Copies of this chain bind each other. A is one copy, B any other.
Amino acid sequence: MNSKALQIGLAGLGTVGTGVYETLCRNNDLLQARTGIPYAVKRVAVRDIHRKRDVEIDPALLTDNWRELVEDPEIDIVIELIGGTDEAHELVKAALNAHKPVVTGNKALLAEYGGELFRLSAETSTPLYFEASCGGGIPIIQSLQNSLVCNHVRRITGIINGTSNYILSSMERKGISYREALDAAQRKGYAEADPTLDVNGWDAAHKALILAMLAYGTPLSPESIAVYGIERVTPVDFHFARELGYNIKLLMVIRHHEESDALELRVQPSFVSRHHMLSNVYGVFNAIAVHGDIVGETIFYGRGAGKNPTASAVLGDVMLAMRERRHPEYHSGFHPYTKQLSLMPLEDTVTPYYVRFQVSDTPGIIATIATELAKFDIGISATMSRGHEDVEETCDLVFLLHACPWGRLCRALAELGERPGIAPHPAVFRIETLNEEA
């Protein structure tokens, strides 16, 4: 076996890049013993080579020109950790065109350009690895590609954004408001100064797109997914959720409807039964439940973000890339199906619901709401109410509704928003049963 060391080009020395570099050094003996492949980091591309860094790194390794990594014939593998969708896009394309396998953690890049990049990977017979783009250290990508390869994926659901889960966990455990929970998360470093993509659901949505592309072998783009965030969740909703035996989570839902060959693809705050493992995923942890037709239900849990967990995922790919590099046709990669899935419009997706109206505390409101829902053929399984904490003579009125299509519910709620005594824009949560039948 060729014992010449494989040369790694690392683009990006931010948080994850630092974790990757440190681990390659610190756990070098372990990696050598386990893989039998000598490696070296030949070049590290950064934005600013003079910037003071926490990590100890030989300045001679640094360059501020990522093109060096692609153009150096000695570099065997490129790790893309610069982030963003501009230069990273150029870098990945250039590396693939130069037949250098790429390991990336860039979810935004793949959500936007995944179809194009996977196609380029196939055309150039150059593997593109992306474990770190989704679920941090959780080995979901490799599991879907390899271990679970014989399964039709019926459903993938999960909690895949740590910041929003941390905020919801705080709200649940401390009874505080969304704003208070976000502020605390920012102070502790669990939310960024600009937390938009985490709290509006789009970080989770990018990851969902990647998982769906992998599971169904079909190119998707951000237009394909319906996305709601957690900004409107209130402590009152947690109160009712607890009373009813649920917890509140921001859930990604990917579900293949066999009879229509349609793909349901959405991110929405949801009620999850306390008996289900997903309701016990706290703080920055993530969990992804995959239901395959042969394996049944599997759940993967772990840290979905952070320097070292993400570095672990990058290195799992790097080691695989090093082993597969001479025989890229053996990389499982991304093989598009010939099947043409259609996307199920959000309005056609069906679940039960929790709806909380803010109403004036007068008789007849429940009758009004129940009558209107009946006109739309929406069944009611329970109601609960509680005097509003802040507004006099006002009530929080909760309806638990039997399963019906989202579009129908929205039309009914739009009608009800016109009625006296009922505030428009009630809080709505999907209730995810997540049972074995997918």
Contacts and interface: CB of A to CB of B under 8 A. Distances in A.
A295 B36 contact: no
Contact of A146 (B137, B277, B320, B335): B320
A308 interface: yes
A139 B147 contact: yes
A362 interface: no
B330 A324 contact: yes
A123 to B, nearest CB: 14
A85 interface: no
A82 to B, nearest CB: 21
A137 B296 contact: yes
A292 B280 CA distance: 21
Among the interface residues A281, A308, A312, which one has the most CB atoms of the partner chain B within 10 A? A312
A329 interface: yes
A23 to B, nearest CB: 5
A296 B309 contact: yes
Contacts of A327: 326-327, 330
Interface string A331-348: 110011110000000000
A147 B298 contact: no
Interface stretch (A51-59, A102-110, A260-268, A299-307): A299-307
A303 B290 CA distance: 12
Interface stretch (A27-35, A185-193, A237-245, A379-387): A27-35
Nearest to A281: B277
A323 B303 CA distance: 30
Nearest to A326: B327
Contacts of A368: none
Q: How many copies does the complex hold?
A: 2
Given A147-B139, A148-B139, A295 B302 contact: yes
A149 interface: yes
A294 interface: yes
Contacts of A297: 285, 301-303
Contact of A292 (B146, B312, B336): B312
A143 interface: yes
Contact of A315 (B149, B281, B302): B149
Nearest to A324: B330
A220 interface: no
Interface in A273-297: 275, 277, 280-281, 285, 292-297
A150 interface: yes
Contacts of A30: 150, 152, 337
B311 A294 contact: yes
A319 B142 contact: no
B139 A146 contact: yes
A150 B329 contact: no
A19 B295 CA distance: 11
B150 A217 contact: no
Given A147-B316, A151-B312, 8 more contacts: A30-B337, A31-B149, A137-B294, A142-B142, A280-B280, A294-B311, A296-B308, A301-B301
The 7 closest A-B pairs by CB, nearest first: A139-B147, A298-B302, A137-B295, A147-B316, A295-B312, A150-B315, A299-B301
Interface of A: 1, 19, 23-24, 27, 30-31, 33-36, 131, 137-139, 142-143, 146-152, 217, 275, 277, 280-281, 285, 292-303, 306, 308-309, 311-313, 315-316, 319-320, 323-324, 326-327, 329-332, 335-338
25 contacts: A33-B335, A34-B149, A36-B335, A137-B298, A139-B298, A142-B142, A142-B147, A147-B312, A148-B312, A149-B316, A150-B316, A150-B319, A151-B312, A277-B280, A292-B312, A294-B308, A296-B303, A296-B306, A296-B309, A298-B300, A298-B302, A299-B300, A299-B302, A300-B301, A319-B332
